[in-house]
Structure 1
Amino acid sequence: MALLAEARQWFEQWIGAVAIAVDGAAGRFVRKRNIQLDENADGSFTASIAASKDGRVPAALSLRLDHDSPQPAPPVEWKAAFEGSRIEVRLQSGHVVSRLLDFPSQAADFLDGMVRAQVDRLTPWTAAEAVFGWGSPQPVSNDRIEVAFSATSAAKVDPLLRLARAVGAASIVVSAPAVGSDGAPLQVTLLDRQLRGLAGPQVPRLLRIGLISTGVAAAAALLLNIYLGGSLQSEQEDLQRQISQRRAALRIGANSETGIGLLAKRKQTTPSSVMVLEALSRVLPDTTYVTELRIEGSKVQVVGMTQDAPSLIRLLEQSPQFTRATFFAPTTHAVNEPAERFHVEANITAYFGSGS
């Protein structure tokens, strides 16, 4: 009975996975209805929708969230409009924290990690308690970029997710206002989530029918193969022998200094540039600006501006990712510069670990 229950559970999981794949393929060809949900100053929302093919447009709907349900209850035409739609929520600026972040241009490929590491400093929430996003990086002077960042509390977004599920929407997008580097207003996407499939609730049932039919055909083919001979058994034994040989070869390579073993050793002992950059962003204080970053073997060299250059040596030495921090060039302070120009190098701990 336990084996039968496990087989049934595996079968249900397989059906669900294939249904998700079918939904994804169907989503490329099914055109979803877009409903815009604008937050008002009093916390209510105004829903509007573009004209349908027959030219009919439901009148704008004003609603409030009451225990994750729209109040008042939407009329019949709006219930039909919400079903399977894509809801685009635009939040008011009063519930959003917006910042214009400045990074070196070389950090454009690592924005996800660098922004996520600063969420608790930029907002009243931690990264787990916030829903946040940023716009496209815009180049500015001195080889730097600026990024429009917006965030809000997850407690603000969760009721909207439950509302979208309650009205039968297929997906939801939550965006917030921000200001670009040129001063122009823009919308930053905080959340874009698929709530349910587009292929319909009949997909799992059709898959079951198709799988049963396939199983019957496979059983017939197996019986035919048994009558024709034992070729299947011989092929299986040959395949098992090849698998054993391949496992033995991999085991030998893992224990040697060549092949897979050498690659694994190199991966563990070579510092990751992304992890070095993230570790520096945590160690260096907010008053420090990095203008040059060089990683050569197991050493990192950092050049930039700071208010207190000697304190950087202490901060790097306290970090588990760096050792033997020292100045490789004199610290200078020009008349026309507001801070000290430092040149620091340190050894890198190659393996950062999953907890760093």
Structure 2
Amino acid sequence: MKLTEAIERGLTVWTASVATAIEAVADRLLRRPQVLVRHDRTESVVLTIQAQPKAKAKVKPMPAPARVNPAAGAAQAGLSPDWLRTLRGAALEIHLAAESVLVRPLDFPKQAEPFLDGMIRTQIGRLTPWNLDQVLYGCSAPRAVGDRIALTLAATPRALVQPLLALADQVGAARLVITADVGSADGGQIQIFKTSLRSSLAGGRDLGRVLKLGWLSVAATTAVLLIATTLIGGYLDGELEDAQAQVTRLRAALRPAMGATAADGLLAKRKQTSPASVIVLDTLSKILPDGTYVVEMHVENDRLQISGLTQDAPALIRLIEQSPQFSRATFYAPTTRTAGEAGERFHIEARINAYFGDRA
């Protein structure tokens, strides 16, 4: 189930990226109008045209700014016909007022920069009063401060902007971007949400979903062809396996001594090339520094996974790589720091080299 979800998530992200690129080209060619929506009050927003197609601008002037209440049952009824025509297929940029946004300054070790997104997602319930499915959030670009990085988290409840999303859908907007005003320290604006509502290239539907359904159809057709090929060739494969088994039995009966020697050699080779868990543990105890505690260790074939607490998680990668017994050391999960713990919680995976000799 997890593999299926991962494949579906990856396909969704990929098709969304392709759809975004196609929509960007379409925006330049179609020159969609851009509308600024300022959420300066809880009960109303102000709509202002930032830019409109040059062809339309020559025909008639831009509509005057309009104020509507998105929480009303039919908010679009308060807009003039000119505004309704302008909003259909437009790109909306919604600016949330500072009082509607929760701002949190964050500070992390510089080594944690590749894992910032995952770390923030797992701690969003502690950083904000809302759960992950109840909040929209975004972060500023990280700033280096010595050996640490600083950034700003901007979050707002999803229920606050839900009327704005409904209004954008009702008026037929094509794209929607929501930004939060956080002051001048991080450039003034942080993007917390972006989506494509519909596409003129896909008949008013979500272009990413259309691409995803197309690729799933191709995958389903390919799977049917593979199953048919497997069923047709199943009988021949079974006959081939029976013939190979008979040849193996005949060789074993004709040359028992050679077979025994080969089996002994195979066992000896496996003993020499398969590292024992006690040797792995002994080697780790020699290379890991004081103050590092291994909580879990898993050894499977030539793969080692360890997790625990340490003061400097990236330094462990270097120490493990320097040992001739291990190679390809990397983090397989984000390094986190939890309140009440003395260090960073790490998760490291490495390949166990076959030879464990006197080089340790």
TM-score interval w.r.t. the shorter chain?
A: 0.5 to 0.7
Could you say what secondary structure the match of 1:169 adopts?
Answer: coil
Aligned to 2:121: 116
The amino acid of 2:36's aligned partner reads Q
> Residue 201 of structure 1: CA displacement?
2.5
| 1:50-84 per-position Cα deviation (integer Å, ceiling 9, x unaligned) | 24314332211111123453265211111111111
* Contact 2:338 2:344 survives alignment (8 Å): no
Give the secondary-structure state (helix, strand or coil) at the position aligned to 1:65.
Answer: coil
Match among 14, 17, 23 for residue 27 of structure 1 = 23
Matches within 5 A, 1:100-115: 100-115=105-120
8 Å CA contact retained: 1:173, 1:193: yes
Cα drift, residue 197 of structure 1: 2.0
Match of 2:85 among 75, 80, 84: 80
Distance 1:148-1:71 versus aligned 2 partners, 3 A rule = same
Q: Which amino acid aligns with 1:29?
A: V
1:64 aligns with 2:69: yes
Q: Indicate conservation of the 8 Å contact 1:23/1:198, yes or no.
A: no
Report if the CA contact (8 A) 2:33-2:52 is conserved.
no
1:72-103 deviation per Cα after TM superposition (whole angstroms, max 9, x unaligned)? 52111111111111111111111110011111
3-state secondary structure, aligned to 1:121: helix
Of 141, 148, 151, 1:144 maps to 148
Equivalent position amino acid for 1:108 in 2: E
Equivalence map 1:195-210=2 (5 Å): 195-201=197-203
Q: What secondary structure sits across from 2:25 in the alignment?
A: coil
Tell me if structure 2 keeps the 8 A contact 1:83–1:168: yes
Q: Structure 1 residues 77, 126: closer, same or farther in 2, change over 3 A?
A: same
Partner SS for 1:187: strand
Distance in 2 between the 1:150 and 1:243 partners?
62
* Structure 1 residues 42 and 291, CA gap change in structure 2 (3 angstroms): same
Contact kept, 8 Å, 2:38 with 2:45, in 1: the verdict is yes
After superposition, where does 1:340-351 map in structure 2 within 5 Å?
none
Listed as ranges, the matches of 1:261-300 within 5 Å are: 270-271=304-305, 293=314, 294-295=316-317, 296=320
From the superposition, tell whether residues 161 and 243 of structure 1 become closer, same or farther in structure 2 (CA, over 3 Å): farther
- Point out the structure with the larger helix share: 2
1:46-61 alignment, distance < 5 Å: 46-49=46-49, 50-54=51-55, 55=57, 56-61=61-66
Cα RMSD (Å) of the superposition? 4.6
- Partners of 1:172 and 1:192 within 8 A in 2: yes
Matching residue's letter, 1:30: A
Contact 2:110/2:148, CA 8 A, preserved across alignment: yes
> Which amino acid in 2 is paired with 1:53?
K
CA distance 1:348–1:117, shift in 2 (3 Å)? closer
- Give the CA deviation at 1:243: 11
CA distance in 1, matches of 2:313, 2:346: 17
Change in Cα spacing, 1:239 to 1:133, as seen in structure 2 (3 Å) is same
Q: Report the residue type matching 2:100 in the other structure.
A: H
Q: Secondary structure at the match of 1:168?
A: coil
Q: Which runs of 5+ in 2 are unaligned?
A: 1-14, 211-227, 242-269, 274-298, 321-325, 332-336, 350-360
Per the TM alignment, residue 178 of structure 1 is displaced from its structure 2 partner at its CA by: 2.1
Tell me, what secondary structure is at the counterpart of 2:162?
A: helix
More divergent stretch after superposition (20-29 vs 157-166): 20-29
| Structure 1 spans left out of the alignment, 5+ residues | 1-18, 208-235, 250-256, 259-264, 285-289, 313-341, 351-356
CA contact (8 A) 1:22 1:199 kept: no
Q: Which amino acid aligns with 2:191?
A: T
State the identity %: 27
- 1:43–1:242 CA distance, 2 compared to 1 (3 A): same
User: Aligned partners of 1:243 and 1:163: how far apart in 2?
Assistant: 61
Which residue number corresponds to residue 190 of structure 1? 192
Amino acid in the other structure paired with 1:148: T
* SS state at 2:201 partner: coil
Q: Distance in 2 between matches of 1:240 and 1:74?
A: 64
Q: 1:159 aligns with which of 135, 155, 163?
A: 163
TM-score, normalising length from structure 2? 0.53
Report the equivalent of 1:41: 41
Note if contact 1:98-1:150 (Cα within 8 Å) is conserved in structure 2.
yes
* TM-score relative to the length of structure 1: 0.54
Structure-2 change in CA distance of 1:239 and 1:268 (3 Å): same
Is residue 149–residue 178 contact of structure 1 (8 Å, CA) maintained in 2?
no
Give the Cα separation in 1 of the matches to 2:231 and 2:166. 50
Counterparts in 2 of 1:90 and 1:266: CA distance versus 1, 3 Å: farther
